[in-house]
Structure 1
Amino acid sequence: MNIKGMHVIVITLLLGIFSCSSDPSIEDQMVDPTKEDGGENPPEETLSHKEKAMATYEMIQELYKNGDLYKENFPEQSGEREYSYLWPYVGMLTAGNILYELGYERSILDKEFEGLNAYYDDRSNLPTYQAYPVSGGSTDHYYDDSAIVAMELIKAYELTNDSFYLDRAKKVTEFIMSGEDSRMGGGLYWFEGQSENCTSGPNCMKAANTSAYAAYVATEMYQLTNDTQYLTFAKRVYDWTYNTLRDPSDNLYWNDINIGSEEINTTKWTYNAAMMIMSGINLYEISDDQEYLNQAISTARAAYSKFTKVINGRIFYQTNDSWFNVELLTAFIQLSEYDSKSDEYVEVFIDNMDYAWENARNDEGQFYEDWSGNNQGRYYWLLHQAALVEAYGRAAIYEKQ
């Protein structure tokens, strides 16, 4: 600038493991709907994950749709603009791809990608997508935004075989790759406006998200095109992120390193772990170098330990930033092909999202940011709702629905 219940014996063991992180104050605030109504109401009809993905998409259409685009929030928040920024819009691209992959009409995919054109800055040098629709004036171009767009363009190409998507992904990837230079030894800036000659300030930095996303996109492009420039770039940026922003104590990733102060922002996010797992898997598949897979597995183990805790006898992933968390779900699903423990991590995610369906939605059908149902959080943000379309869709694909 997202089931299968745990066996009692597993929960009992995990309670022992995670009891030190359980917060009694949170547990006391939890609401059990079956106790509130005495358990007399009949159970809601059970929907498949595929159906839940579509139902969530339809809710978004009803509440957030604004012409060909979407509103940033529902209800509207103070100071927001007419349309959403690019980041939450990309969540709807993912929704279009996943719903089509699940067998729904291709018109959904087409509609979302047609709307994406509103953000495309077709400038003469390094055209890419900007942060807000071009009709609203010029805004900056973020390397991480462009990377998540490129991921969806690549997926749309794989699903439809329409060469437009691959051609556009090539252009966007060229922009992404321009965000790397040798300052701080490598890595990518956060956005273009800070990529030339910045010397101080919080945004003058090299970031884990931009670098890990860039490495992943480049591996995907290499697998599609066999163009070695992508693989060379991906390995270099992956290695920089691993060597510069990895915490060796747990194999998770710090957020960024500031160029002016050379200080590291030690915040750790689920999506940074996710993208390094996914990049590592791709590099393993390309090179057959076991070390990449070992690194991915080590990060997955640490991410599950770091980003889960027990609330009211259930394991939940962190109760904020739903879209970040769903990136981790995607990584675990990809890793499960090589690592059986990752299936366990996926099952906890599926348990979380099914619990959220019953216990963490408001009267409009919007999901709370906190899937445990304890706090609504930023439920009004489009991205947090789009994350659930992706989550249910990925669960459905994982379960071969």
Structure 2
Amino acid sequence: MKNNRYILLSLAFIALAVNYVKAQLPSYNTRIKLLYQQINNKLRDSTEGLYYETSDKAKNENKHSYLWPLCAYIQAANEMEVIDPSKDYMQPVEKAIDQYYTDKLPFAGYQASVTKEKPDSRFYDDNQWVAIAYLDAYNRNHKKRYLEKSEMICRYMLGGLDTVAGGGFYWNEGDKSSKNTCSNGPGILVLLQLYNITHNKAYLNTALDVYKWVNKTLQAPDSIYYDNIRLRDLKIGKAKITYNLGTMLQSNVLLYHITKDHKYLGVAEGIAKAGRKYFFKKGRLPGGYWFNAVMLRGYQELYKVDGNKDWVNFYQEDADAIWNTERDANNMLGTKPERSLIDQAAMIEIYARLQELK
């Protein structure tokens, strides 16, 4: 009897302690404001209208950030505007991204580094992430430039689509050694969003072709997605990363909305269950905040359809753990001494999406 009473008291104490810790956590809105402030304080070059890769300039490869962290930050800026439409968070990031533009033939697009600083490679996925953020913005505010830039990016990315290995987009314009889920999942999303806006059937048909190719070529038996196919020998790179699952999860939900075919919703739910089981271990998601932010996009879309809180609760648990255990004295997040732009942007996106879901 005493042992049972002790166990019950212990469980009650633990529950009280957990609730106390949760009560002490700042709101998602507060966390977003703190992170946004530190990006402007420590990671923005206001003179050039550009951003730094990390807070330690001595460790940065370039004077200013690669485009990839700005892919995260432009989406984060969009999500901040979702929860606070009175502000214009996107414009300064958009102006920075404009400095990566190149009209190099055969199609204009954005390169990996600031154009005036050095010539660099162009990656199809970098361009696609920007287009996804711009299309999300266009669906909110109908600013024409966001649609026009997204259509420009789509023309660029379609230049990276062919029938080698059966189909799919390349990853790097200048290196045709692989086709990756990270350039095909977001490519599908760009095409589906453009179809929703323009009703041009060619966008939908191409999206379906790429969707079928990814599922045939790069989906594992457990419904998680592999990373890439190497083209010289068709060997599959079997790394499993959260963002690859996220884009394909979101693609299925969008296809459900477009076609009204419940098979896509069933596939989405299967992918979501597999992803949560595979990636969420001991109360945490794997490292890589931005990869996880992209995966949240898919879970958020599914949650809006079926209202299943399982798709949200584990993200809340991980996001709170990050704030509690991976935050420095300046309220910047990360696991390295130097704090990176992509990490701060990713967590802004995650907290903003969780705020919206509340």
What TM-score do you get using the length of structure 1 for normalisation? 0.80
Deviations 1:264-301 (A, max 9, x none): 11110000000000111111111122222222111111
Candidates 270, 276, 281, aligned match of 1:298: 270
Matches within 5 A, 1:311-390: 315-318=283-286, 320-341=287-308, 343-368=309-334, 376-377=335-336, 380-390=339-349
For structure 2, list consecutive stretches of 5 or more residues without a partner in the other structure.
1-10, 12-16
Q: Is the Cα–Cα contact under 8 Å of residues 128 and 172 in structure 1 kept in the other structure?
A: yes
Q: Structure 2: how far apart are the matches of 1:256 and 1:77?
A: 33
**Is contact 1:54–1:99 with CA below 8 Å preserved after alignment?**
no
Q: CA deviation at 1:47?
A: 3.0
Deviation of 1:58 (Å): 0.9
Q: How far has the Cα of 1:381 moved from its partner? A: 2.1
Provide the residue aligned with 2:250 in structure 1.
278
Work out the percentage of aligned pairs sharing the same amino acid. Answer: 26
Match for 2:290: what amino acid? Answer: W
Q: Residues 70-109 of structure 1: matches in 2 within 5 Å?
A: 70-78=51-59, 80-103=61-84, 105-109=86-90
More helix by share: 2
1:252 and 1:268 in contact (8 A); partners too: yes
Give 5+ residue unaligned stretches, structure 1. 1-11, 13-33, 35-41, 196-203, 369-375
Rounded Cα–Cα distance in structure 2 between residues aligned with 1:143 and 1:125: 14
Q: 1:77 to 1:294 in 2, by over 3 A?
A: farther
- For 1:217-232, what aligned pairs fall within 5 Å after superposition? 217-232=190-205
Classify the secondary structure of the residue corresponding to 1:316: coil
With structure 2 as the length reference, what TM-score do the two structures score?
Answer: 0.89
**Contact persistence 1:297–1:339 (CA under 8 A):** no
Question: How far is 1:48 from its partner?
Answer: 2.1
1:66 corresponds to which residue? 45
Show the counterpart of 1:170.
151
Note closer, same or farther for the CA distance 1:305–1:122 as it changes in structure 2 (3 Å cut): same
Whether the 8 Å contact between 1:254 and 1:265 is mirrored in structure 2 is: yes
**Quick check: 48-57 or 82-91, which moved more?**
48-57
CA contact 2:303–2:311 (8 Å) conserved in 1 = no
Which residue number in structure 2 is paired with residue 4 of structure 1?
Answer: none
Q: How does 1:215-294 map to 2 (within 5 A)?
A: 215-248=188-221, 250-294=222-266
Cα-Cα RMSD: 2.0
Going from structure 1 to structure 2, the CA distance change for 1:304 and 1:271 (only over 3 Å counts) comes to same
How far off is 1:104 after superposition?
Answer: 5.4
Aligned length in residues = 338
Shift of 1:253: 0.7
SS of 1:136's equivalent?
coil
Q: For residues 224 and 378 of structure 1, do their structure 2 counterparts lie closer, same or farther at Cα, with a shift above 3 Å needed?
A: farther
Pick 1 or 2: higher relative contact order, CA cutoff 8 A, min separation 6: 1
Indicate the SS of the match to 1:325. helix
Offset at residue 340 of structure 1 (A): 4.2
Return the letter of the residue paired with 2:353.
R
